[in-house]
Amino acid sequence: GFFHADPHPGNILLLGTPEHPRIGLVDLGMVGRLTPEMRNKTVDMMVAAVRSDHVALADALYAIGTPTKKIDMRAYRAEVSFLADKYLNRPLKEIDMAAMIADLVKGATKYGLEIPADFLLVGKSIMTIEGIGKEIDPDLDVFEEARPYFMDLLRKRYAPERVATDVWRGLERLSGAAYDLPQQVREIMDDLRLGRLIIQTQDLNTSRDTDRLGRRIFAGLVVAAFVLAGAWLVGRGGPLIYIGVALLLFGMTWLFWHVVLDFRRR
């Protein structure tokens, strides 16, 4: 995840021999680091760009950023689609990736999406490197040159051992949250009993909203019960893991079904 954020020609050295060239970088005063999660999101964005999938591109950029206000997703996706059309409807080697990233970041900022500083540094580095590459070889295809690295990241991302590790980490986090759940529920019930829990609504005369709130609370308690039981069984280990996973899946299915049902009742 570590990268040089200022790779201008003065910071790049050509080393080795013509048969075995190597590139050296100096002046590490401006560097950045991408977390594994950010690397995955960046790969998603680049894959969406290669496929000319505007919706996936907009969603990947949205996942990278942090909303600073409520975003009109329909207008935001239309903006990204408009900007992407300027670059993606042409052969890959003719795509100006640096300009595309710059325009996409401007469009995201326009709609209130704050892009992390390290990702902006990645964009700056890509712009600089692409400029140097085009000076050396005007026919340079940046996407084609980067393809092996993206494919390697995708292979590592979906390798069975990586997926298994991610699933296990997710279960561990879920188990930890489940152990804290009883105390949190108890505190909520105490606040409710003592009158410290206040639920505000914009329309106190609408019984439909109250009924919907009751259904959501009931569904939340049911899902919490399944998640708590499932996480406890997973934590016990042995054959009980399978029962625990089944309870977790059932709880998630119940939650999904209730969300769909609640949406249809609107």
**What is the tens place of the pLDDT at every residue in 172-217?**
666 666 666 667 777 777 777 677 666 655 554 455 555 666 666 6
Q: Are residues 186 and 130 in the same domain?
A: no
The angle formed by the CA atoms of residues 75, 76 and 78, to the nearest 5 degrees, is 65
**Residue 3: Cβ within 10 Å count:** 15
Final residue in a domain of this structure, among 157, 189, 212: 157
Verify that 165 and 145 share a domain, yes or no: no
Contact (CB, 8 A) for 132 and 9: yes
The pLDDT, as a whole number, for residue 266 is 55
Q: Check whether residue 205 and residue 105 sit in a common domain.
A: no
Is 114 in the same domain as 102? yes
d(CA 53, CA 44): 11
Rg (C-alpha) for the chain, rounded Å, is 25
What domain range includes position 204? 160-265
Per-residue tokens: 171: 């279960």
Instruction: Give the pLDDT confidence score for residue 149 in this predicted structure.
Output: 75
Segments of the chain scoring below 50 in pLDDT? 204-205
Same domain, yes or no: 40 and 83? yes
Say if residue 199 is in the same domain as residue 127.
no
Q: Are residues 258 and 232 in the same domain?
A: yes
pLDDT for position 261: 64
Q: Which of 157, 184, 200 is the last residue of a domain?
A: 157
Specify whether 197 is located in the same domain as 150.
Answer: no
Backbone torsions φ then ψ of 9, nearest 5 degrees: -55, -35
Strand partners, 4: 31
Last residue of a domain, one of 131, 157, 183: 157
46 and 150 part of one domain: yes
Tell me the CA distances in angstroms from 243 to 33, 189, 224, 228, 252, one per residue in order: 40, 29, 16, 12, 14
- Within a 10 A sphere around the Cβ of 111, how many other Cβ atoms? 20
Whether residue 196 sits in one domain with residue 111: no
Domain identity same for 32 and 153:
yes
CB-count burial class (<10 Å; 0-12, 13-18, 19+) for 45: buried
Residues 91 and 107 in one domain: yes
User: How many domains does one find in the chain?
Assistant: 2
pLDDT at residue 204 in the model: 47
